[in-house]
């Protein structure tokens, strides 16, 4: 049964968790959870991508164990902890996948946009919204954010990457509007401002932002400079 006091949540996609793990920032994530009055939530699909499958691959086993520890400690919670039924979430995830991966067409074929992990985060967000639980999706992967925020720009990006004309079902755009996103870079900035980052000397914020950039977070140099300006305020 969901704790009735929980009325907001951050839904973590695999990309953000992997970025934090690869940069040795999981203690900072623990610190963020301590000051956040809500839940850090993952879905079964995200757990499969960040823990279950990587534990079977030697190259990724160590990071998977570190993320698993967050789950064991209760820093991360499964979506079921908020009273979300797995069957309901699975149905909604399939709906999101079906619509997302049939929105853009190139070369006579539908273009695969997102996988189950990202789709489950979008699905969970919609379910929580209906339950009046404010939420934001933490995702570093650019495609998912563009789908929700700037689908026309995603169309242009696909044309550039695939070197082909892209058509889209604009009627699908509305299905993905209204989501709120945050990246590991913004979370890292909050950790820095709250004094949660263990390093104190030197250009810490600059190093932190470029670390997440080079380990999975889709952020431009211009965006990093804007965040650094904020850090000086």
Residue by residue, DSSP assigns 86-142 as HHHHHHHHHHHHHHHTTSEEETTEEPP---HHHHHHHHHHHHHHHTT-EEEEE---H
Average pLDDT for 164-186: 96
Quote the CA–CA distance of 30 and 75 in Å, as a whole number. Answer: 6
- Tell me the per-residue pLDDT of 99-117, one tens digit each, with 9 for 90 and over: 999 999 998 899 999 999 9
**List of domains in the chain:** 8-231 (3.40.50.1010)
How far are the Cα atoms of 26, 80, 94, 170, 219 from residue 202, in angstroms, in the given order?
21, 42, 47, 48, 22
The pLDDT of residue 116:
97
- Tell me the per-residue pLDDT of 187-202, one tens digit each, with 9 for 90 and over: 999 999 999 998 989 9
Residue 93 pLDDT class (50, 70, 90 cuts): very high
The pLDDT of residue 233:
47
- Torsions phi, psi of 10, nearest 5? -105, 125
| pLDDT of residue 1 exceeding 50 | no
The pLDDT of residue 231:
72
| pLDDT of residue 209 exceeding 50 | yes
35-184-15-137 Cα dihedral, nearest 10 degrees: 60
Quote the CA–CA distance of 55 and 21 in Å, as a whole number. Answer: 14
| pLDDT of residue 24 exceeding 60 | yes
Average pLDDT for 211-232: 91
| pLDDT of residue 120 exceeding 90 | yes
| DSSP-derived secondary structure letter, 23 | T
């Amino acid at each position: 049964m969901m704790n009735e006091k929980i009325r907001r949540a951050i839904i973590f996609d695999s990309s953000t968790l992997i970025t934090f793990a690869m940069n040795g920032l999981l203690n900072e994530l623990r610190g963020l959870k301590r000051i956040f009055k809500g839940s850090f939530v993952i879905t079964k699909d995200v757990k499969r991508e960040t823990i279950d499958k990587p534990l079977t691959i030697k190259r990724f086993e160590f990071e998977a164990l570190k993320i698993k520890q967050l789950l064991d400690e209760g820093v991360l919670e499964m979506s079921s902890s908020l009273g979300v039924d797995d069957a309901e979430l699975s149905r909604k995830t399939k709906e999101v996948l079906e619509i997302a991966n049939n929105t853009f067409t190139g070369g006579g074929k539908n273009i695969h946009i997102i996988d189950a992990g990202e789709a489950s985060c979008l699905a969970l967000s919609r379910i929580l919204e209906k339950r009046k639980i404010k939420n934001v999706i933490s995702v570093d992967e650019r495609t998912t954010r563009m789908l929700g925020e700037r689908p026309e720009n995603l169309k242009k990006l696909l044309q550039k990457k695939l070197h082909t004309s892209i058509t889209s079902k604009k009627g699908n755009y509305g299905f993905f509007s209204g989501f709120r996103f945050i990246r590991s870079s913004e979370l890292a900035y909050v950790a820095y401002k709250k004094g949660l980052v263990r390093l104190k000397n030197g250009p810490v914020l600059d190093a932190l932002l470029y670390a997440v950039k080079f380990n999975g977070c889709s952020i431009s140099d211009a965006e990093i400079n804007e965040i650094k300006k904020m850090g000086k305020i």
